[in-house]
Amino acid sequence: MMEKRTVRVAAVQIAPDLDSADGTVERVCRAVADAAAQGAALVVFPETFVPYYPYFSFVRPPVLAGADHLRLYERAVVVPGPVTEAVAAAARAHGVVVVLGVNERDHGSLYNTQLVFDADGRLVLKRRKITPTYHERMIWGQGDGAGLTVVDTAAGRVGALACWEHYNPLARYALMAQHEEIHVAQFPGSLVGQIFADQIEVTIRHHALESGCFVVNATGWLTDDQIQSITPDAALQKALRGGCMTAIVSPEGNHVVPPLTSGEGILVADLDMTLITKRKRMMDSVGHYARPELLSLHLDNRPAAPMTTTVTAAVPPAAAPSPQAEADHDHAQLLQLAR
């Protein structure tokens, strides 16, 4: 009989503060406290939640988006920095694992970044979305394979992908091959409409089945006032509604609790970790169901760098000949001439 292990998790669907990065961080810390008060060991937030997802880039052409893009630079998160210190302190104070999506600023570039804080406040993973999608390519740079890493946390082995990275089967397989127990998915929410919510649900349920792991997914939410502040165009406002599917899915592909598809709230569920073995007994896609001699994945997990340097060892100067050596050399030359 397997020993039962239960992990309580929380997926947060709330609105950011579109006017203040500090305001969004305060909302994050309050939600961490609320989830911890309900006994959660893992708390998941939406994609690029701090300071906010760049909704403007979806409804505004690039020629009109410059001011909003620069404002996002000003409010973006430097890692490490004040934002990571605040979230780390919240994770440590409440003894919970926190997964937070941020817009990360690295000098002149922004990245869609997922941060995993362990229950002691340590930042155990910083990964960047490997390929921004469609309009996002005007906003963020590309990540690298270094972030395709599963980390051990107080809640279990955690892997993470953002949004349409879930449509990259090799990226998902890289995490599956590292035996993730809890997969964290993050999507923006309040985007595209019902079709987006439907697609998210199909995607995360399939990954749970294929990986044999739990999936905790968080999507964002925008209020009507926030939508109107992003665009006054009523037709475009329709593109900023719907698309929410905050959900917790078991290794058998089932919702552990009913998903949250509108409004703000925190979804909480208990994960029976024995279901992982129950699923993998039947189908372990990176174990007995794999055929690595036929099909395998190569991952380049080196961090990308714009410059590398090669240190050339200095060649020591030739030592000056000793007086005896000079004398021997001269004597040899005289003998040569005498011949």
Q: Which of 12, 4, 14, 76 is nearest to 226 (CA)?
A: 14
Reply yes or no on whether 280 is catalytic: no
3-state secondary structure (DSSP) of residue 81: coil
In this predicted structure, what is the pLDDT of residue 312? Answer: 78
Lowest mean pLDDT, pick from 33-47, 113-127, 257-271, 316-330: 316-330
The separation between CA 292 and the C-alpha centre of its own chain, rounded to angstroms, equals: 27
Better pLDDT: 326 or 307: 307
Reply yes or no on whether 29 is catalytic: no
Concatenate the DSSP letters of all residues of 289-307 into one string: T--TTT-------PPP-S-
Residue-averaged pLDDT of the chain: 94
Write down the catalytic residue from 29, 163, 213, 244. 163
Q: Which of 244, 252, 261, 245 is nearest to 207 (CA)?
A: 252
pTM: 0.90
In this predicted structure, what is the pLDDT of residue 4? Answer: 84
User: Could you state, in order of their start, the residue ranges of all structural domains in the chain?
Assistant: 6-281
Write down the catalytic residue from 47, 136, 181, 210. 47
Write down the catalytic residue from 129, 165, 180, 181. 129
In this predicted structure, what is the pLDDT of residue 322? Answer: 67
CA distance 93 to 184: 22
Reply yes or no on whether 3 is catalytic: no
Better pLDDT: 333 or 163: 163
DSSP conformational letter for 80? S
CATH of region 6-281, choose from 3.60.110.10, 3.10.580.10, 3.40.30.10, 3.40.640.10: 3.60.110.10
Which neighbouring-strand residues pair with 123? 117
In this predicted structure, what is the pLDDT of residue 2? Answer: 65
b/e per residue 213-237 (b: at least 16 CB within 10 A): bbbbbbbbbbeeebbeebbeeeeeb
